[in-house]
Amino acid sequence: MIPAPASTVGTRPAGGGTTVIRPAARLRGEIRPPGDKSISHRALLLALLGEGESRIVGAGDGADVRSTADVVAALGATVERIDEATGGRTAGYRVASPGAAGIVEPTGVLDCRNSGTTLRLVAGIVAARPLFAVLDGDASLRRRPMARVAEPLRAMGARIGGRARGTLPPLAIEGRSPLVAIDHASPVPSAQVKSCVLLAGLGATGVTSVHETFATRDHTERMLRARGVAVTTERLPGGRRLHAVAGGQAILPRDELVPGDLSGAAFWLVAGAIHPDAEIVVRDVGTNPTRRAIIDLLRRMGATIEERSISPAEDDGIGEPSADLVVRSSRLRGIDVDPGEVAAAIDEVPVLCLAAAVADGRTRIRGAGELRHKETDRVAGIAAGLRAFGAEVAVDGDEIIIDGGRALAGAVTEAHDDHRLAMTFAVAGLIAGGETAVRDADSAAVSYPGFFAELERVRA
């Protein structure tokens, strides 16, 4: 069960998962966002694949990462919460695993709850083992498209059934060992699809390759390399990428220090930039080049974001860089965002739309169609939510057009059980006149359990 946000003064739960936000006079303070969700999922899953013990310090403690931890345990690893601190990062997991060959057939359904990353990456892992597994999730996950992973895995030799002719969860997977390598061109830019196919490729004969039309987050590639697996990435013209991995390579166990989640930090970056009296320090945030687009997009809009590097980006494509970010009140202007930038800031688009609603002039976000397939239809959800605040938002096919600069008025908003919409509307509530109600605010705990407590702290 996802816990409800803490009861506080300027922010109060109003029952039924609704939280009320009042405007803040000023925003000040230091925030440490939860550990990066994408890296935490992968650290757990790669710990399952590597024989031996791996410690994951600073792992995110949201419901999604817990779903992955539970699935990893159901597949035969011993997973324990640990409470240890290294370099300012605290708590996480210790995983002891028999390795890929020791993965056991789960006795029950693997419940991925709200987490698409869990379901899609685990599909790639179990498809390459000689076992039967059923992957399921909550009502939201059961609506999300799975053909994008089921089709390549079938082409590699796994048998996969599911609702809607094998395209919706629950998915029933009969794995095969070994699979056969494929050369896959994903129809959508998706790090989940890329990761699923590369993980399956580790259990295939031959070299599996994945073509991407736009670069997506490369945590899987970096983290596999750090665990002794040779994964190649070729940069092609137009931002395209070609990744390849040979099957049969062993994954070494390894400790991971997880940096803070930039996708969680993004709410504070936007809050600080749009609030007229703000200075917020966001500590130890992952700034992986394939993830950092939101920082650069906000700067292009005129946001003052200072970046103090903690560990610099390496050229070897292995480490995960991080930085402290300081954001101050800024005057924003509208920008054009292209489809490649959408792919690089896919989870930050909702809060970017809020920045656009406050900015002077027009923002056009092209190629936003993938947002319709997230925890909810985020194109419809963000348009309806921002309009409720009085913003001017138009949707034209896969394009979102926002004419910014109108004063926002407090509103009743629907997060549709989507954590990123809930947090976006809560941030809007900090600058909107009057009271803002965020329905389904407790969904924030999917990625950011302490979000509403932090919101109270920075406004105090």
Instruction: List interacting residues with ligand S3P (CB under 6 A).
Output: 38, 41, 117, 190-192, 195, 216-217, 346-347, 370
- Indicate if 36 belongs to the active site: no
CA distances from 41 to 31, 88, 279, 300 (A): 22, 20, 31, 31
Give whichever of 288 and 330 is closer to ligand S3P, judged by the CB atom. 288
At residue 91's C-alpha, the angle toward residues 58 and 455, to 5°, is: 70
Give whichever of 115 and 413 is closer to ligand S3P, judged by the CB atom. 115
Give whichever of 240 and 333 is closer to ligand S3P, judged by the CB atom. 240
Q: State how far the Cα of 438 lies from the Cα of 231, in Å rounded to an integer.
A: 43
> Which member of 36, 111, 284, 347 is catalytic?
347
Closest approach of ligand S3P to the CB of residue 191, in Å: 4
Closest approach of ligand S3P to the CB of residue 195, in Å: 6
Closest approach of ligand S3P to the CB of residue 346, in Å: 5
Q: State how far the Cα of 262 lies from the Cα of 420, in Å rounded to an integer.
A: 13
Give whichever of 18 and 118 is closer to ligand S3P, judged by the CB atom. 118
Give whichever of 333 and 372 is closer to ligand S3P, judged by the CB atom. 372
Residue type, 455: L
Closest approach of ligand S3P to the CB of residue 45, in Å: 11
Q: State how far the Cα of 420 lies from the Cα of 445, in Å rounded to an integer.
A: 10
Give whichever of 114 and 436 is closer to ligand S3P, judged by the CB atom. 114
Closest approach of ligand S3P to the CB of residue 270, in Å: 17
Give whichever of 55 and 217 is closer to ligand S3P, judged by the CB atom. 217
Of all residues in the shown chain, the one whose CB is closest to ligand S3P is 38
Closest approach of ligand S3P to the CB of residue 347, in Å: 5
Closest approach of ligand S3P to the CB of residue 71, in Å: 15
Active-site residue list: 347
